[in-house]
């Protein structure tokens, strides 16, 4: 294995670990091709398309691929979203990491015709993971794994969706599962509670500010209040767990 000239973040290592051996994947918004270089240097059977929308990172990605002797297995392309994927690539997996959930949803929607051969997507939205979960559910991709982790003061969620698997959603609590994540909601880690304490504080402030507006949006306020109740319910579970453990 060729020595890498960079250190991959823990966040991207976690993303990479969801790729199977022998992956044929597209990394959209490849950030200088760090992830494809890491994967292909560890797995000699993997191949990748590294997509970049801006010229500077595209040039850097090409240089990184050449530096690590991986030009035969990583193709760097300049283009918007999934436009970099071609039918002949026969891509099996798609990675989109480090963007907002709204942008990830837009990329997937705009490039939906490029997903016919894809059997796994690994998506790491920095915010608005709910939008990604809803899109996957509506488009028939099954959420099969989730991970929440913290690095350098930031909390990240990683979503893994496959063509096959079991549906984790329950009709009676689906909206709540879209917000929190069905797997994260079952296996509540300390990072999960840390995230939702912060989110509850922010949402409470937003509700107060909205109620003070001249023409308050009552429908949206009521939706936010409902979500705040969900958050507070989960935080009560954390307090009960702490009390039990300290008893």
What confidence tens digit (pLDDT) does each residue in 157-198 have?
999 999 999 999 999 999 999 999 999 999 999 999 999 999
- What pLDDT score does 92 carry? 98
Two tokens, residue 113: 């015709």
pLDDT below 50 — which residues of the chain? 243, 246-247
Please state the separation of Cα 19 from the chain's center in Å. Answer: 14
Share of the chain above pLDDT 70, in %: 96
- What pLDDT score does 247 carry? 47
Q: Is residue 150 within 8 Å of 173, Cβ to Cβ?
A: no
Q: How far apart are CA 181 and CA 230, in angstroms?
A: 13
SS (H, E, C) 98-143: EECHHHHHHHHHHCHHHCCCCCEEEEEECCCHHHHHHHHHHCCCEE
Closest Cα to residue 150, out of 191, 111, 188?
191
Closest Cα to residue 132, out of 164, 163, 99?
99
Q: How far apart are CA 136 and CA 140, in angstroms?
A: 6
């Amino acid at each position: 294995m060729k020595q890498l000239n960079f250190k991959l973040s823990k966040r991207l290592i976690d993303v990479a670990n969801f790729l199977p051996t022998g992956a044929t994947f597209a990394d959209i918004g490849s950030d200088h091709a760090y992830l494809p270089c890491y994967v292909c240097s560890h797995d000699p059977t993997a191949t990748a398309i590294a997509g970049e929308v801006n010229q500077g990172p595209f040039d850097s990605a090409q240089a990184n691929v050449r530096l690590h002797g991986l030009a035969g297995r990583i193709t760097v392309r300049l283009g918007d979203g999934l436009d970099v994927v071609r039918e002949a690539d026969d891509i099996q997996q798609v990675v989109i990491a480090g963007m907002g959930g709204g942008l990830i949803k837009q990329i997937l929607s705009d490039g939906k015709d490029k997903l016919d051969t894809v059997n796994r997507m690994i998506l790491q939205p920095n915010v608005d993971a709910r939008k990604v979960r809803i899109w996957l559910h509506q488009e028939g991709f099954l959420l099969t794994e989730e991970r929440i982790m913290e690095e350098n003061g930031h909390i990240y969620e990683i979503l893994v969706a496959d063509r096959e698997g079991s549906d984790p959603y329950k009709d009676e609590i689906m909206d709540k599962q879209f917000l929190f994540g069905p797997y994260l909601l079952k296996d509540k880690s300390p990072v999960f509670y840390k995230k939702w304490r912060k989110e509850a504080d922010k949402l409470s402030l937003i509700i107060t500010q909205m109620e003070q507006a001249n023409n308050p949006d009552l429908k949206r306020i009521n939706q936010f209040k409902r979500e705040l109740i969900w958050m507070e319910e989960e935080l009560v579970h954390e307090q009960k767990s702490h009390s039990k453990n300290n008893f």
